[in-house]
Homo-oligomer: A and B are copies of this chain.
Amino acid sequence: MTQAPAAKPPGPTPRNSLEPLFRPRSIAIVGASTDPTNMGLHWLETLTSFQFPGPFYPVNPGFSEIAGLRCYPRLVDIPGPVDYVISCIPASLVPNLIEECIQKEVKLLHLFTGRMAESGEKDRIKMEARIGEQARRGGLRLLGPNCMGLYYPAQNISYSPGFPREAGTVGCFSQSGSITNEIVDKASPRGARFSKVISFGNALDINECDLLEHFAQDPETKVIAIYIEGVKDGRRFLQLLKETTPKKPVLIHKGGHSGAGARAASSHTASLAGDEQIWEALLRQTGAVPAYNADDLADLIIAFLFLPPPRGRRAAVIGGPGGASVQAADDCDLAGLVMPSLSPEIQRQLQEIAPQTAFLLRNPVDTSALSNRTAFPKIVKTVAEWDGIDLLIGLTPDLNRPRDPTSHLENLTHFLELHQHVPNKPMVIVVSSANDGEEWRWRNISEKVARSSAAGIPVYPHVSRAARALSQFCRYHEFLASRNAE
């Protein structure tokens, strides 16, 4: 770092040692109850289902037992040490809890508690500031307020029972719990697994800079995905981005671009959303990869997670019928990929393989009229191995009835085989979505997505999304190359 942190004086815990905070031996959930809509109960159940190995304690003076666990009236009544506390109590009770946390030598207090600065009310803005100061003086680190906290599968910690149990290499931090859910829910069925996901809300203490620094250094994390609404310390964030992107890709979705979006960001996480133009310029400078929404972020995550570095942005699209091929070409063009015509030599080879329908085997390569289906793998291989293309987009046609005589897995199987032969050429597969259709259709789609993901091939529901992700993926590698050329 060439520039010292500016905004906040360093607390007693050094800035770059968040990791111990996220590996608690024990957890207390303050404000848990037996009410089925109580979020404290939700955490107890989720820790149980994730088999968190250390003890975890409900705390509430109104109960002696919750979900089969002994409930303590106050945090300080818990006999053993407590490293991590989740607060589900109203904001007005938090100052007292902080005193108890300090007394109990708690390392991290996660404030699910909201209705603080984001309420826009003056006294609550002041209260949030006072709470921050109180914790800082006592050496207590805070996550939040107004957030879902920690998902750390390797430590058996989660705030959602639906998240995968297995750990992976995507590190994610987000100011929104619901968008974090979207990211995990949309990336994990396509093969992404996470090192650690942190929902950090209003960022009163631990903020986007701390988290970026943490993930930059985290050996478990290879790809960093971020959702933020505001940046507390723009200069430090910029500097950290510059330092991080040459080592790890940093994918960022920034919320609150529009006037109404900025107003919503203010009441959501008390963030000053800032100007879109400035933000875009900032990202461009640093080599960070911009995402437009959670779908886009999930699309980028799987590209950066699975694909080998590209040699360029020349793409071939293979396997669709005519109309889909026209659309695919338009989509690739719009995303900034290049669709080269096949060379005379490659055309000659394809003519030999399928003389009747060779006129359809351009780029995109429309294979729908092949009468001899054994030609398909030969065509795919010929195009994929040609050094005139850098990227491969494989289309898998939809079915139009439950059991199609031309097996719905035919194209996919050949693409998976091909992936073994040309592992160093980035390849993605398109399996179009039909989430609101009939069950047999959903089952076919699920099977194709599961197989591709298991083979480590990124899957997209539409060529437009595949092309956009590939283009950003190429842009990042162009950025790396230009840096190395300097």
Q: Is the CB of A115 within 8 A of B446?
A: no
Partner pick for A326 among B176, B359, B399, CB 8 A cutoff: B176
- State the CA gap A19–B121 with chains docked (Å): 67
Partner pick for A357 among B115, B264, B295, B436, CB 8 A cutoff: B115
Known pairs A178-B322, A181-B400, A357-B115; A332 contacts B263 (CB<8 A) = no
A47 within 8 A of B: no
Partner pick for A160 among B264, B339, B400, B461, CB 8 A cutoff: B400
Interface residue ranges of A379-433 to B (CB < 8 Å) = 397-401, 405-406, 431-433
Interface residue ranges of A51-92 to B (CB < 8 Å) = none
A37 within 8 A of B: yes
A119 within 8 A of B: yes
A120 and chain B: residue at smallest CB distance: B359
Q: Is the CB of B267 within 8 A of A178?
A: no
Stretch at the interface among A217-225, A232-240, A253-261: A253-261
Give the shortest distance, in Å, between A313 (CB) and chain B (any CB): 13
A309 within 8 A of B: no
Q: Mark A348-380, 1 if CB is under 8 A from B, else 0.
A: 000000001101101110101100000000000
A455 within 8 A of B: no
Neighbouring B residues of A334 by C-beta, 8 Å: 257-258
Q: Is the CB of B178 within 8 A of A257?
A: no
Known pairs A161-B401, A445-B436; A261 contacts B330 (CB<8 A) = yes
A259 and chain B: residue at smallest CB distance: B333
A373 and chain B: residue at smallest CB distance: B37
Give the shortest distance, in Å, between A450 (CB) and chain B (any CB): 8
Q: Is the CB of B268 within 8 A of A325?
A: yes
- State the CA gap A462–B255 with chains docked (Å): 16
A295 and chain B: residue at smallest CB distance: B462
- State the CA gap A306–B446 with chains docked (Å): 31
Q: Is the CB of A327 within 8 A of B268?
A: no
Q: Is the CB of A400 within 8 A of B161?
A: yes
A159 and chain B: residue at smallest CB distance: B400
Interface residue ranges of A158-185 to B (CB < 8 Å) = 160-162, 174-182, 185
Partner pick for A442 among B260, B332, B398, B442, CB 8 A cutoff: B442
A139 within 8 A of B: no
Give the shortest distance, in Å, between A397 (CB) and chain B (any CB): 7
A305 within 8 A of B: no
Q: Is the CB of B434 within 8 A of A461?
A: no
Neighbouring B residues of A321 by C-beta, 8 Å: 176-178
Q: Is the CB of A189 within 8 A of B363?
A: no
Q: Mark A239-271, 1 if CB is under 8 A from B, else 0.
A: 000000000000000011111110111011100
Partner pick for A181 among B37, B229, B268, B398, CB 8 A cutoff: B398
Interface residue ranges of A305-352 to B (CB < 8 Å) = 320-334, 339, 341
- State the CA gap A205–B449 with chains docked (Å): 42
Q: Is the CB of B459 within 8 A of A260?
A: no
Q: Is the CB of B339 within 8 A of A267?
A: no
Q: Is the CB of A363 within 8 A of B400?
A: no
Give the shortest distance, in Å, between A160 (CB) and chain B (any CB): 5
Known pairs A181-B398, A329-B263, A360-B267; A176 contacts B323 (CB<8 A) = yes
Q: Is the CB of B356 within 8 A of A267?
A: no
A118 within 8 A of B: yes
Q: Is the CB of B325 within 8 A of A257?
A: no
Neighbouring B residues of A442 by C-beta, 8 Å: 435, 442, 446
A26 within 8 A of B: no
- State the CA gap A366–B368 with chains docked (Å): 47
15 other contacts beyond A115-B357, A258-B330, with CB at 8 A cut-off? A37-B406, A114-B369, A115-B359, A176-B322, A178-B320, A178-B397, A182-B324, A261-B326, A261-B329, A264-B325, A269-B322, A433-B433, A435-B449, A436-B459, A442-B446
Residues of chain A touching chain B, judged by Cβ–Cβ distance below 8 Å, are: 36-37, 114-115, 118-121, 160-162, 174-182, 185-186, 189-190, 227, 229, 255-261, 263-265, 267-269, 293-295, 320-334, 339, 341, 356-357, 359-360, 362-364, 366, 368-369, 397-401, 405-406, 431-438, 442, 445-446, 449-450, 459, 461-462, 464
11 example contacts (A-B, Cβ-Cβ < 8 A) are as follows A185-B434, A189-B436, A227-B323, A257-B333, A257-B334, A260-B364, A263-B362, A264-B325, A294-B327, A433-B435, A436-B445
